[in-house]
C-alpha cells in the first residue's frame, strides 16, 4: 500500500537516498528543499525547519497533494564544528535549532495527522556522535543526543495510537558533510570502524525504510545504529 512520506532535507545526501528508496518501494514521497529545484522524479516542497510557519505551510502543501504524512523522516541537519572554547553561543544554538528543534517542529506537525489516522512512523536521523561524543562537535552531538530523548518520549506518548518513533544513528557516510573532513581525520575515523569503510547513503536508507515498514511494527523508541560497529557498547 502506498503511503504519504515526507523527508526533510531530502534534496541531497542521505535524505535524497532515503526519499528515493521509499519512492522505489511505491510510496508517495515529498522532500523538503530550501532553494533551487527538487531532485528529478521527486516532489518537493520549500521548507526551512527553523521556521514554524514554513513547516506549517509545507505540511499544508504536502497534505493537499499526497494526503496526511504517514511516514516522517526528520533528516535535515547541519554542522558548525569548532572546539568548545572557540564555539560561540550562536554556533551552538543554530545547530540545535536546526537538528533538534527543527525535528521537534516537523514531528509535532506530523503527529497531528498521525493521531487522527491512529497510525504513523517517525524516524529521526541522529548520529553515532550523539552517544559517542566527538571533539569539535559539542553542539552537534548535543543536538543528536537530544533526538533520542525526544523519540523515546514520543514513543511513550503516541504508542497507544499506533505511532512509532525511532532513531537511526548513522556512523560516517559518504556525503557532502564528510567530504569536508581532512584526509588525516578520515584515516583516524576509519581506523576506529570495525567494518573499515564509510557507509553509502543507500545503506542508511534501507534501514530507515525497514524501521518505517510493517516488519518493524513492534519497534519503537529504539536507536538503530548504521555505523559499521563504530558505536558498539553505547
Rounded to whole angstroms, the Cα distance separating 227 from 65 reads 35
Rounded to whole angstroms, the Cα distance separating 103 from 151 reads 10
Which of 56/217 has CB closer to ligand NDP? 56
Interface positions, 62-91, toward ligand NDP (CB under 6 A): 75-78
Q: State yes or no: residue 173 binds ligand NDP (CB under 6 A).
A: yes
Residue 74 β-bridge partners: 124
From the list 93, 198, 109, 192, the residue with the least C-alpha distance to 146 is 93
198 is annotated as an active-site residue = no
Binning the chain into helix, strand and coil, the percentages to the nearest 5 are 50, 15, 35
Q: State yes or no: residue 224 binds ligand NDP (CB under 6 A).
A: no
What is the contact mask toward ligand NDP in residues 131 to 170, using x (rule: CB under 6 A)?
---------------------------------------x
Q: State yes or no: residue 197 binds ligand NDP (CB under 6 A).
A: no
Q: State yes or no: residue 130 binds ligand NDP (CB under 6 A).
A: no
CA distances to 20, 78, 222 from 6, in Å: 11, 19, 20
Where along the sequence are the contacts to ligand NDP (CB under 6 A)? 8-9, 11-15, 32-35, 47-50, 75-78, 98, 102, 125, 127, 170, 172-173, 175-178
Catalytic residue positions? 140
Amino acid at each position: 500500500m502506498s503511503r504519504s512520506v515526507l523527508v526533510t532535507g531530502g534534496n541531497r545526501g542521505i535524505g535524497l537516498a532515503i526519499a528515493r528508496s521509499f519512492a522505489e518501494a511505491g510510496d508517495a514521497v515529498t522532500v523538503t528543499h530550501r532553494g533551487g529545484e527538487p531532485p528529478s522524479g521527486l516532489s518537493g516542497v520549500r521548507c526551512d525547519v527553523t521556521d514554524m510557519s514554513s513547516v506549517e505551510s509545507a505540511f499544508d502543501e504536502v497534505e493537499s497533494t499526497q494526503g496526511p504524512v504517514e511516514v516522517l523522516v526528520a533528516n535535515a541537519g547541519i554542522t558548525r564544528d569548532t572546539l568548545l572554547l572557540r564555539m560561540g553561543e550562536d554556533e551552538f544554538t543554530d545547530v540545535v535549532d536546526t537538528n533538534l528543534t527543527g525535528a521537534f517542529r516537523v514531528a509535532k506537525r506530523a503527529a497531528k495527522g498521525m493521531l487522527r489516522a491512529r497510525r504513523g512512523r517517525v524516524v529521526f536521523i541522529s548520529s553515532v556522535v550523539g552517544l559517542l561524543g566527538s571533539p569539535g562537535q559539542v553542539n552537534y552531538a548535543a543536538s543528536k543526543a537530544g533526538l533520542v530523548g525526544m523519540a523515546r518520549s514520543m514513543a511513550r506518548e503516541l504508542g497507544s495510537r499506533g505511532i512509532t518513533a525511532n532513531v537511526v544513528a548513522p556512523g560516517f557516510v559518504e556525503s557532502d558533510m564528510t567530504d569536508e573532513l581532512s584526509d588525516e581525520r578520515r584515516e583516524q575515523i576509519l581506523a576506529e570502524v570495525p567494518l573499515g569503510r564509510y557507509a553509502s547513503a543507500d545503506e542508511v536508507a534501507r534501514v530507515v525504510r525497514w524501521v518505517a515498514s510493517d516488519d518493524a511494527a513492534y519497534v519503537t523508541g529504539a536507536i538503530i545504529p548504521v555505523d559499521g560497529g563504530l558505536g558498539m557498547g553505547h
